[in-house]
Amino acid sequence: MIVKVRGVLLRFTNYENDIEVGGETVRAGLNELTERYPNLSEVLLDREGTVRATHLIALNGEQLSPAELDREATEDDRVDIITAVSGG
C-alpha cells in the first residue's frame, strides 16, 4: 500500500510523502512505516502503540476507526494519515 504523509508529519519521514509499505492490513502497513521512521512513531502513536486521537487514518478516502485498522489492504491501496489539527 502507499501511505500518504502530509504537512506536519513530513519532517518525521525526512520529507518522503508517498511511502510504499508492505503488510496485509492497514495496521500492518502502519507498523512497518513507524518501524522505518521511529521519530514518526513517537508523534503518531501513544505509549500503548495506538494511533493518537489527533490523527485520522483513511483507506482510499474512507476514514477508519481504530477498530477498523485491521481492514485488508493491497499494494494498490492508498492510506492517508490526516492530522486533525495542529496548534501553533
Partner 1 sequence: MPRSSTYEVVLDAGLFTPTQLQPTAVGRLAFQAGTRWLRDHLHSHRRLVTEHRVGLVLWAWQLEYEQPLRFEDADEAEVDVRMRVRGPRASQLEAELTVTGPAGVAVRARAASVPLALSGDLALSGAPTTLPEAVVAAFREDEIERTPYLSRVRALRGSFDREGEEIASDTTTFRVHRHHCEVADQWYWAESLGFAGGAREEFVMRHGRKAPELRRSLSEGVRRLDVTWLRAGQLWDLLQVRTTAYRHGGGLAFVHELGLAEDDGGGPYAIVVERI
Site for partner 1, rule CB under 8 A: 4, 6-12, 17, 39, 42-43, 52-56, 58, 61-63, 80, 82-88
Which C-beta is closer to partner 1: that of 62 or that of 72?
62
Which C-beta is closer to partner 1: that of 25 or that of 54?
54
Please check whether residue 18 is in contact with residue 4, taking contact to mean a CB–CB distance below 8 angstroms. Answer: yes
Which C-beta is closer to partner 1: that of 47 or that of 74?
47
Which residues on adjacent β-strands are paired with residue 72?
A: 25
- Residue 59 phi, psi (nearest 5): -110, 115
Q: How many CB atoms lie within 10 A of CB 22?
A: 10
Instruction: Name the residue with cell 500518504.
Output: 4
Q: State in angstroms the smallest separation of the CB of 74 from partner 1.
A: 18
